[in-house]
Structure 1
Amino acid sequence: MRKVFPFLICAAAALSFQACKKSSETFQTTAIAEYAPLVPGKYVSYAMDSLVYYTNFNASQVTISYQVKYQVDAAITDNLGRPAYRIFRYIRKTPAQPWVPDATFTGINTGDGYEFIENNYRYIKLKQPIREGFSWKGNTFIDTRSINSEVKYLDDWDYVYANVDQPAQVGSYSLDSTLTVEHRDDSLNHPITAITNFADKTVSREIYAKGIGMVYRYFLHYEYQGVNRTYNGYGVRYTMIDHN
């Protein structure tokens, strides 16, 4: 009997170690900083197509093209007292023109997520664990329900990871490791016909690449009113053209 107890103790310890090892392996996840590097001087440039909707029933979208550059400027403290980074956006119409300052944003790596503040709207762009199919409420900090909210269409969005750590072709770049964040793909009363009274459509997704950040973005939202057959909405498409 004296020899049995030490054996049982060793066996239990071994099983405990294996369980801890498996648990550790299960919860390993890619660091947020790999897909959202916040380093002063880091930039990504995009071809930006701004989509403007519509003037009458038969009109198609009007597209205006620019180039924009997002560049991490410096470490700051955000309104909640957290370490953050100021991000400048520059814009130009053609490559021959100089970059002109256009807007300022804030990026925050919270440790388990990446928040991006744009026009006073606080988005949770990325969230751990970074794994296929994981979802979270990315617009939870945005007022979408008050009577004065101008962004009710952002309400209750489920952000979902897809194609995690997969290669992707974005513009002229063949990227080794990317992920897609699907935000929304929703429509009502489509296809639109001559007897449609009301319809709407919202689509939003982004692609991130390791070591670079966001490399692609597509957003579209519009409403259709059948009374006068008009569309009201907007959209934007960003495709990476340069980075450092």
Structure 2
Amino acid sequence: MRLQYVFILIILFSACKKENPSIPINYKYSYFPLKQGLQRIYKVVDITIDTAINKYDTINYELKEVLDSSFIDNSGNIAWRLERYKRTDSAQQWVISDVWENQIINNQAHSVEENIRYIKIIFPPKKDEIWNGNAFNTLEATNYSISNMDEYISINALIFDSILTVNQKYEETLIYKYQTFEQYATNVGLINKTVIAIDYAYTYPPNIPIEQRISRGHLYYQTIISHN
């Protein structure tokens, strides 16, 4: 009788499991959309400072990225041709500057930039997860990590209700600072890229931001202004 009771419990438990299948994983690939015709336009500010030679250069321009078409790469995977165009301002014609590649392989967002492959995002993204963004190139291993995700942000009057922040580098002392991060929005992709490479900064006054004490360095800000 006892065995019959146990057997009945097993059957009931199995039935319950069948009625409650596991919830499918949301990989959130939409942070790195691959869709023909997808277009993003950015405002770019590129600053180079070297006080020793009295160099203070600021270059402003617009950058357009277009996912043009897909193709099969040398490894047999689907890749997307990302065409990049530049112009000094909206009154000028777009001129193609280079072509990159985007693809998702084994739950990883890959970007091939100037023939260098980077792992931009690991799917599904998790806060504080760490990976080597240079795992598929010959550059020094660099730990990427996710600091924020699924957050609201407003940029240049554009509203994004779900963004992901990927920190690619951060080192800072009183006299130098190296910081790189990218932000991605669902169904849009990259919306912001910041690169701060301050090789040397004046130590005085120490209470103001290092970006205002630069002796030698490079600052790059790429911010979205429109998308389709």
Could you say which TM-score interval applies, normalised by the shorter chain? 0.7 to 0.9
User: Is 1:169 the counterpart of 2:145 in the alignment?
Assistant: no
TM-superposition CA deviations, 1:104-133 (whole Å, max 9, x none): 101111140110001111110111121222
Q: CA deviation at 1:184?
A: 1.2
Written as runs of structure 1 = structure 2, the 5 A alignment for 1:38-187 is 38-56=34-52, 62-144=57-139, 155-187=140-172
Partners of 1:81 and 1:220 in 2: how far apart? 36
What RMSD, in angstroms, separates the aligned Cα atoms of the two structures?
2.6
Distance 1:66 1:166 in 2: 28
* Structure 1: gaps (5+ residues): 145-154, 193-199
Deviation digits for residues 8-66 of structure 1, max 9, x if unmatched?
31354267569x85xx44x723332x111111211100001112132329x68532110
Letter in 2 for 1:86: R
The answer to whether the 8 A contact 2:71-2:78 is kept is yes
TM-score using structure 1 length: 0.79
Partner of residue 224 from structure 1, selected from 183, 194, 200: 200
Equivalenced residue count is 216
Give the TM-score normalised by structure 2.
0.84
Deviation per CA, 1:151-186, whole angstroms, max 9, x where unpaired?
Answer: xxxx33221112211111122212111111111111
Q: Does 1:191 align with 2:191?
A: no
Q: Distance in 1 between matches of 2:74 and 2:45?
A: 32
Q: Which residue of 2 aligns with 1:212?
A: 188
2:10 is aligned to 9
SS of 1:30's equivalent in the other structure is coil
| 186 and 15 in structure 1: CA distance in 2 versus 1, 3 angstrom threshold | farther
Q: Please give the alpha-carbon distance, in whole angstroms, between the structure 2 residues aligned to 1:203 and 1:61.
A: 20
Label 1:174 to 1:61 Cα distance change in 2 as closer, same or farther (>3 A). farther
AA aligned to 2:37 is G
**Per-residue deviation, 1:5:** 2.9
> Is the counterpart of residue 28 in structure 1 residue 29 in structure 2?
no
Name the structure with the higher strand share: 2
Asked if structure 2 preserves the Cα contact closer than 8 Å seen for 1:48 and 1:237, the reply is: yes
Matched, 1:243 2:227: yes
Conserved 8 A contact 1:35-1:209: yes
Residues 79 and 53 of structure 1, relative CA distance in 2, 3 Å threshold: farther
Gaps of 5+ in 2: 203-213
Conserved in 2, the CA contact under 8 Å of 1:216 and 1:239? yes
Alpha-carbon shift at residue 78 of structure 1 (Å): 2.4
- The DSSP-based 3-state class of the residue aligned with 2:44 is strand
SS of residue paired to 1:132: coil
Q: Secondary structure at the match of 1:7?
A: helix
| Distance change (3 Å), C-alpha of 1:4 and 1:170 | same
Deviation at 1:136, TM superposition (A): 1.2
Given that residues 48 and 55 in structure 2 are in contact (C-alpha distance below 8 angstroms), is that contact kept between their aligned partners in structure 1? no
In the other structure, the counterpart of 2:179 is: 203
